[in-house]
Structure 1
């Protein structure tokens, strides 16, 4: 009788880069003979892909590890692995606090996971392997893409900035850029598989080219993506104001499939606080970029990240942040209360702001941004938009008989389910009838449905029986993961 495949689950915390890394981890495991777990039972392998930027990231990890301890005790063949930024930072601490963990691996050696799991099983002891520099660019590894119609494409890894609140550069290393030809080859391969939307991904995505000696490389890459036949939408995240140049704005405006959507992290509107953060721009520079983007693309939807309560932030500093929010009129903002991150310079700064003060400022900021988001969304009422139908975007879709998707500017749109049916990856034309702060509604009938290769790909994937993965079984004794959820922005740089 054929041996059943060992099942796996990957639990992802943090940024888009982690979500993309988790797709690579899933691809590696399936190539090694694992099958993605379905249902509520414990899988044979659980992999935690961690983040060191989010608040209480370590508490969340150790809490989940603790909940798995009884399952591991009951099934000695079960394996648990911890990777990502927190693993890179804490290393042996994880095994000391949770001795039932089998493998700890870092951000630079995700390709070693299958071998480390096998070694842990054979040697019956935890394997801790943390490399200090990148060995293999993650995009060269196999991937199990979560979406049939949209894909992340990493163009660089690492970051050369030294923001005082962020530990990412210490954990992911200096920026390393992929060759443009390799990136475009991946994009073309994805489009051939049915993908119609790609998001170019980097810790500081528009610094792309600094490792290649070409300051205009990112704008050139955007334009090159515009030449890929069948690619309908190109996005990127997250840029840094320091490196956001006029040639990139021109490339966005002049490339037909480059979406008029921009996530531009502000962090603070105060020049004094920006200096303390080591953010190499000031309020005037930031607002100048917004003005240029809107001049070139009046319909652009701009979002941001903001940290409230950075050490030393005065009432006047906070008022400067509110001023920028009013002037920039962001479509939405990911707002965070500052909290100490061990290992960052900001954690050791004097004049940490009392929690009550931070909370009060945070609530004022959120209220202001909610008001602006609603006003900006109301401007969409009456417009006809082509929406890329998505899977899992609308939590109430089943109850409301609606479907959901993304407009070209990335606004979330809920629309009436068409009578003829429509698939994730297809395009629908709708007229917006109502706006809320965080979404748009098209309550009338769908005006048009365009079936796409992406919808075909989604349908084919859904209909395909679970195939036995390529590769050989690892011969592990026996056992036991979540669909990754991106959290845009972060209490750090744009991507983390």
Structure 2
């Protein structure tokens, strides 16, 4: 049964004070293995693949191949498995339902005998077993009368109702009341979605749009200004201060609609939703659904709960299941692909581990399948996403390396360009740099936040790398790819930062000369150690440093782009220039935006040779090169 909660009245001041401990159990010093912190009781079925082998020696040899990360489980199944029923299906077993795993004459009996199914569904049942709770992507070995099974957990079916908190309220002024249940087609429903923050939020919004459109809830038509959204979604970011206040300000007009009797459902998703949880409903009882990032692709299921008269809070930790519907991509040419969710780092300034949870890597097979499907649909560029992308695979059993996955994606036929973000200098390896240098479809473009140019500040931030380590990575990139684009993130005014320490950051920027740096003044965030320190830098000092570093960043950005004038570059055309309809917009492989005259209908998604004729701080202008 779901937990029920009562919403007590609270003043804004009390609500603010209540945001002390997040529900996500990823506080510093706590468990970061998702196998241990996620309640398996919410899982109802496993999707499995297996390889059947006949002796221990063969099993060890195959496991060794998998541990080296050079072969996919599907390839191993086709090559080595002795199971005739699954070998030609890449080892695919299908779904194993926990409720009837021990039923007589089970349909999976010819493939997975009862003792195998029992250990998978009840890993603690046999005290002599070395089985542990599994997460998607894990591979385990189990013996049966058929031989030795190497089993990969591909996906988990999760009952989200077991993970939500809800309060029943009589049906009223939500979108469902505008539709006669006996005639769903009576009224076409529309949604609006506003997205704040990073690329991860953009990708989550695309997944939520896919969920809504699978329910035949369509985007609000811009050609009909009088039409109002029936479902309003705000996908929030909490990386900066006052993020919560922005959310309440945004909700206001929609809450007013509901108070006046209009049928509208209000959804707050993303990092502020995870951070605030039930407090959002206390401060704004008109909100219907509070949705953490880990539930982005379960929006449809949770809206069903809303339509049944519930206010719902879905912020508890959970396995992130594979999408059952396709994301609604914002571009026809470029696509985001998540490869790892969450973050196990504990940077003293960062709220992400509390809002996005622990690391959960997707299987390489699922990632490659999504990428191949995107290419088949006509997409030309894919950006692999991860909060700490270099950590990909370290949470899997056996572990995998990001460099191996990057190479596999780069080898997909007809995929023109591959990008990836965000790299962490503590974990970024030479293998990643080499993979980029050696594969022509992987763009010579890197985003590697350094955050500070002073070792003392980096230690206090908990970054786990030094300035020397960072510069060694840059040296490796410049040596192998002298023209590579390098961008970064930096924070000024971190607690205790002196003027001399800030000067070290400027020195690092002068040494590297980045193509662009995302700059920010330190902003205290809830549930982060640095927010509690008593050596905060004054707002005046932070703003002064921010202005100075921005001036330097502008200077370097302009210098880096000006060197392109006179060159001919291949530009992947993405869209029309909204400020000049006779121009199209695309990017170089370095990531520079380029505008040139052209017909978007003819050029969209194509690689075009463009001679660069002029540069500005953040963009280039050119003309199509004569062949």
TM-score normalised by length of structure 1: 0.85
Q: Which stretch of structure 1 is more off in the superposition, 111-120 or 16-25?
A: 111-120
Deviation at 1:84, TM superposition (A): 1.2
TM-superposition CA deviations, 1:129-180 (whole Å, max 9, x none):
222233424x454311111111111111111100011111122211111111
Match of 1:231 among 415, 421, 446: 415
Matched with 1:59 is: 245
Following superposition of structure 1 onto structure 2, how do residues 221-370 of structure 1 map, counting pairs within 5 Å? 221-370=405-554
* Cα separation, 2, equivalents of 1:354 and 1:280: 26
Q: 1:204 to 1:80 in 2, by over 3 A?
A: same
* Cα separation, 2, equivalents of 1:65 and 1:75: 16
Matched with 2:348 is: 164
Q: 1:135 to 1:431 in 2, by over 3 A?
A: closer
* Cα separation, 1, equivalents of 2:213 and 2:358: 30
1:84 matched to 2:265? The reply is no
Matched with 1:447 is: 626
Following superposition of structure 1 onto structure 2, how do residues 38-117 of structure 1 map, counting pairs within 5 Å? 38-39=221-222, 40=225, 41-117=227-303
Deviation at 1:310, TM superposition (A): 0.5
Matched with 1:35 is: 218
Tell me, yes or no, if the aligned pair for 1:153 and 1:183 is still in contact at 8 Å. yes
Tell me, yes or no, if the aligned pair for 1:109 and 1:131 is still in contact at 8 Å. no
Q: 1:364 to 1:117 in 2, by over 3 A?
A: same
* Cα separation, 1, equivalents of 2:390 and 2:430: 12
Q: 1:421 to 1:109 in 2, by over 3 A?
A: closer
Tell me, yes or no, if the aligned pair for 1:42 and 1:71 is still in contact at 8 Å. no
TM-superposition CA deviations, 1:226-266 (whole Å, max 9, x none):
22111000000001001111111110000110000001101
Matched with 1:12 is: 195
Q: Which stretch of structure 1 is more off in the superposition, 1-10 or 73-82?
A: 1-10
Matched with 1:142 is: 326
Deviation at 1:111, TM superposition (A): 3.5
Matched with 1:479 is: none
Matched with 1:131 is: 316
Tell me, yes or no, if the aligned pair for 1:397 and 1:404 is still in contact at 8 Å. no
Question: SS at the partner of 1:14?
Answer: coil
Matched with 1:183 is: 367
Tell me, yes or no, if the aligned pair for 2:570 and 2:608 is still in contact at 8 Å. yes
Q: 1:144 to 1:75 in 2, by over 3 A?
A: farther
Deviation at 1:213, TM superposition (A): 5.3
Question: SS at the partner of 1:163?
Answer: coil
Q: Which stretch of structure 1 is more off in the superposition, 265-274 or 204-213?
A: 204-213
Query: Which of these two proteins has the greater Rg computed from alpha carbons?
Result: 2
Q: Number of residue pairs matched? A: 441
Q: Which has the higher contact order (CA 8 A, sep 6+)?
A: 1
TM-superposition CA deviations, 1:5-47 (whole Å, max 9, x none):
2111121111111111111111111112211111233211001
Deviation at 1:106, TM superposition (A): 1.5
* Cα separation, 1, equivalents of 2:255 and 2:366: 42
Tell me, yes or no, if the aligned pair for 1:404 and 1:412 is still in contact at 8 Å. yes
Matched with 1:429 is: 609
Deviation at 1:216, TM superposition (A): 6.2
Q: Considering only aligned residues, what root-mean-square deviation do their CA atoms show, in Å?
A: 1.8
Question: SS at the partner of 2:458?
Answer: helix
Q: Which runs of 5+ in 1 are unaligned?
A: 449-496
Tell me, yes or no, if the aligned pair for 2:193 and 2:235 is still in contact at 8 Å. yes
Q: 1:294 to 1:284 in 2, by over 3 A?
A: same
Tell me, yes or no, if the aligned pair for 2:331 and 2:574 is still in contact at 8 Å. no
* Cα separation, 1, equivalents of 2:504 and 2:344: 27
Question: SS at the partner of 1:397?
Answer: coil
Q: 1:424 to 1:75 in 2, by over 3 A?
A: farther
Matched with 2:559 is: 375
* Cα separation, 2, equivalents of 1:240 and 1:445: 37
1:199 matched to 2:379? The reply is no
Tell me, yes or no, if the aligned pair for 1:428 and 1:447 is still in contact at 8 Å. no
Question: SS at the partner of 1:209?
Answer: coil
Deviation at 1:115, TM superposition (A): 3.0
Matched with 1:408 is: 589
* Cα separation, 2, equivalents of 1:66 and 1:303: 37
Q: 1:304 to 1:173 in 2, by over 3 A?
A: same
Question: SS at the partner of 1:241?
Answer: coil
Deviation at 1:322, TM superposition (A): 0.3
Matched with 2:580 is: 397
Q: Which stretch of structure 1 is more off in the superposition, 82-91 or 65-74?
A: 65-74
* Cα separation, 1, equivalents of 2:286 and 2:479: 57
TM-superposition CA deviations, 1:65-86 (whole Å, max 9, x none):
0122222234432111111111
Tell me, yes or no, if the aligned pair for 1:222 and 1:255 is still in contact at 8 Å. no
Tell me, yes or no, if the aligned pair for 2:433 and 2:477 is still in contact at 8 Å. yes
Deviation at 1:395, TM superposition (A): 4.2
Question: SS at the partner of 1:126?
Answer: strand
Matched with 2:34 is: none
Tell me, yes or no, if the aligned pair for 2:390 and 2:427 is still in contact at 8 Å. yes
Q: 1:26 to 1:287 in 2, by over 3 A?
A: same
* Cα separation, 2, equivalents of 1:59 and 1:381: 44
Matched with 2:335 is: 151
* Cα separation, 1, equivalents of 2:497 and 2:190: 49
1:22 matched to 2:208? The reply is no
Tell me, yes or no, if the aligned pair for 2:394 and 2:400 is still in contact at 8 Å. no
TM-superposition CA deviations, 1:76-118 (whole Å, max 9, x none):
3211111111111111111111111111122222343223323
